[in-house]
Amino acid sequence: MALHSFYQNEGYLWVHSPILTTNNCEELGDLFQVEPESYFQGTSSVDEHTNSRVSFFGLPTYLTVSGQLHAEMLACGMTSVYTFGPTFRAEKSQTRRHLAEFWMFEAESCNYEIMEDLTQVLEKCIKWTLKHLMDNYEEDIYYFHKTFSSQSQADVAIALRKEFVRMTYTEAVKMLKQNDSEFQFKPEWGGDLQSEHERHLVKYCGNAPVFVTDFPRSLKPVYARDNGDSTAATVDLLVPTVGEVAGGSLREERFSILKDRMKRKGFGDQYDWYLDLARFGAMPHGGFGLGFDRYVQYILGLENIRDVIPFPRFVGSCRY
């Protein structure tokens, strides 16, 4: 409720993005495909020309990995919007911060013209909701930290007292290289930040939340705005215990650049509706997604994300 209140007090409209979609905006390798049971049982109708099963929707359709692309469309008509709903990732991961089904708050706004616009709102969101929880439920939070957590409750309070640290990806890699003997995965420019790198950066910064900006363009999705060099206008927010809890970017509104990147990445005709946004004159805009379950994990200091959701779904487990 604190998150809903924050967004609505800031003038954002709550919109509902589809759960069934043909897009893969995060460019993930594997998605959950949706078809009627008859399709998989071989009893659905067959296309007489291709002799293949007919898809219910006419195109491969998946459980959503993000409501972002739809939220972008709506933001360009209503200035600032947010979504809150389930998202699904078919990552075969057993880590303490991954689920196959989780919940996301995603904000999109045409008021984000530079990266500082986006990071300021995200920092304000975290501070506002944390203050609400500490003012009203401090005893509950204290109980979790005392009973189940190896993290100090003071680490959460730091986010209220201190300005969030800001550094570029290049600065982060340089900092990590000074201590690379500590890591299983050696930090290199152009490589993704691993969870051990994220935790180290937060610890190095005194357990204050850390914004890491301007990642290599090759690491980020096609919609992230090109900075004009080898980087994109992107940001990850790192916090103690969890690592990345939110991520966002300015969106690429320039038609020729977006079209070229989508073509090179192999995006098909099913994305024409999204490309039309830039084709017919999108204004500068941006957004971010806040992983709700990871955020609760951070607030309560819990080591495993499966402990913050009543019915966790992950690879090998969907029994109820």
| pLDDT value for 70 | 95
318 inside domain? no
58 inside domain? no
Crossing angle, helix 169-177 and helix 195-204, to 10 degrees?
90
| pLDDT value for 94 | 76
Look at the chain and report how many structural domains it folds into: 1
Tokens of 48: 């007489």
Per-residue tens of pLDDT for the chain, all 320 residues: 999 999 999 999 999 999 999 888 877 678 999 988 888 787 767 766 666 777 888 888 999 999 999 999 999 999 999 999 999 999 887 788 789 999 999 999 999 999 999 999 999 999 999 999 999 999 999 999 889 887 767 788 899 999 999 999 999 999 999 988 889 999 999 999 999 999 999 999 999 999 999 999 999 999 999 999 999 999 999 999 899 999 999 999 999 999 999 998 888 788 899 999 999 978 899 999 999 999 999 999 898 999 999 999 998 888 88
Dist CA 300 CA 144 (whole Å): 6
3-state secondary structure of 231: strand
Produce one character per residue of 211-246: b if its CB has 16 or more CB atoms within 10 Å, e if not: bbbbbbbeebbbbbbbbeeebbbbbbbbbbbbbbbb
Cα angle at 41 between 38 and 46, to 5 degrees? 65
Dist CA 40 CA 118 (whole Å): 44
227 inside domain? yes
Dist CA 212 CA 200 (whole Å): 13
Positive or negative, the CA dihedral 265, 271, 276, 277 is negative
149 inside domain? yes
15 inside domain? yes
Work out the widest C-alpha separation in the chain, in whole angstroms. Answer: 66
Tokens of 113: 């013209």
Positive or negative, the CA dihedral 105, 111, 114, 117 is negative
Domain that holds residue 224: 2-28+65-307
3-state secondary structure of 243: strand
| pLDDT value for 109 | 97
Question: For position 273, which CATH number holds?
Answer: 3.30.930.10
| pLDDT value for 15 | 97
| pLDDT value for 51 | 62
| pLDDT value for 50 | 65
104 inside domain? yes
317 inside domain? no
Residue 158 host element (H or E): helix 153-161
225 inside domain? yes
| pLDDT value for 257 | 94
